[in-house]
Amino acid sequence: MENGYKAKLNFGIAWEWKYDDIFIRKLDRELINNGLSCYIINPGNVSETVELLKKGMTFDYYLDRASDVDDRFSPIEPIVESRGGKIFNKNSYALRASDKATMHLEFLEANLNVPYTFLLPPFDGYRELNLSGIERLNIPFIIKPSSFGGGEGVQTARTVDDIQRARSEYPKEKYLVQEKVEPLCIEGKRAWFRPIYACDETYISWWDDKTHIYEILGDDDEKRFNLGEIREIVNKIARVSMLDLFSTEICYSEGGKFVVVDYVNDPCDLRIKSLYYEGVPDEIIDNIIKRIVDTVRKGCLSRNPTDLHV
């Protein structure tokens, strides 16, 4: 239901990225098939929706995949939360998790393996730095802005001049300068994985960091190659980040360790593989949707069994 008014609906979804379309429609259909009401918020009806919320409409659960890039969606979360709604990926948690420098320190505190890293302050105010010790990084190494996602601003570099040049491109950004981690090869596959966490469940795929192609990690291979530690790592990341839906990247390195190489991706890419070459396998998308719907249904039933809407 994209328009209309009810005092309380079971689930609200905010989205603005055109490639989210299939995921949102599949989630909407699964919610309705399970007797749950759903309200979809997009750039075309966000202003109207905010007004309806101000008049009393609210959601039991709210998934926000829009306010990080469109401020018009920002008033929705506090209204829903003030009325007892559960937020999937609260903005305050998501903002904290998006800061790679913060997550780097938090992951170290949680005893997670991360690449050897130098954390650098913004170029503005700190143009000249003492980079002694940088020689400990093997060449080439990786430079990435602290708060960007989707690979934006990430560069492979070799010299201190490369670091300074990268910092000057986004002078207000903190930067991470990291060792380049190489994966082992397991039966012809690069041991690089992209798990997706959704409401206490983890869905793991091989993810080739060169081709960006997903392939589901089967249960048999997970046991055969002793890859169960990936789930423990993702659960730790969930506890640190406090997010309900995210992806991460974990490399089984040539040194024989699982290393978290891309900390928290939110909103995570949920394009579907049957339509997009680099998309997430359809089976995983379907399982994520079922997991979200099951969580919402159980939560709504525990609150008030008579409060489901068809």
Residue 69 lies inside a defined structural domain of this protein: yes
- On the question of pLDDT at 287 being above 70, the answer is yes
Question: Over 80: is that where the pLDDT of 302 sits?
Answer: no
Residue 106 in domain: no
Examine the domain organization and report whether 227 and 239 are in the same domain.
Answer: yes
Q: Note whether 208 and 145 are same-domain residues.
A: no
pLDDT for residue 309 is more than 90: no
**b/e burial code for range 18-29 (CB count within 10 A of at least 16 → b):** eebebbbebbbe
Give the chain's mean pLDDT.
92
User: Would you mind telling me the total number of residues written for the chain in this entry?
Assistant: 310
At residue 3 the predicted structure's pLDDT band, cuts being 50, 70 and 90, is very low
Same-domain pairing of 40 and 74 = yes
Domain assignment present for residue 277? The answer is no
Identify the domain boundary among 127, 162, 179: 179
C-alpha pair distances (Å), 136 with each of 92, 144, 167, 261: 35, 18, 20, 18
Q: Higher model confidence: residue 254 or residue 279? A: 279
**Is residue 273, in this structure, part of any structural domain at all?**
no
What is the count of structural domains for the chain?
3
Query: Could you tell me if residue 310 is inside a domain?
Result: no
Task: Look up the CATH number of the domain holding residue 56.
Answer: 3.40.50
pLDDT at position 308 is 52
Kindly state whether residues 84 and 21 are assigned to the same domain: yes
**Residue 128 located in a structural domain:** yes
Question: How far is the C-alpha of 194 from the C-alpha of 107, rounded, in Å?
Answer: 17
Residue-range definition of the domain harbouring residue 187: 182-266
- What pLDDT, on a 0 to 100 scale, did the predictor assign at position 2? 45
Examine the domain organization and report whether 23 and 67 are in the same domain. Answer: yes
Longest dimension (CA), the chain: 65
Planar angle of CA 96, 99, 103, nearest 5 degrees: 80
Residue 217, pLDDT score: 97
Mean pLDDT lowest among 26-35, 93-102, 129-138, 255-264: 129-138
Residue 280 lies in a domain: no
171 lies in the same domain as 186 = no
Together in a domain, 253 and 297: no
- pLDDT number for residue 304: 64
Global pTM value: 0.92
Query: Is residue 98 classed as helix, strand or coil in its secondary structure?
Result: coil
Query: What confidence category does residue 307 fall into, taking pLDDT thresholds of 50, 70 and 90?
Result: low
- Cα dihedral 203, 245, 25, 291 sign: positive
| Residues 142-192: tens digit of each pLDDT | 999 998 877 777 888 888 888 888 899 999 999 999 999 999 999 999 999
Dihedral (Cα; 136, 138, 264, 215), 10-degree rounding: -150
* More confident site: 306 or 282: 282
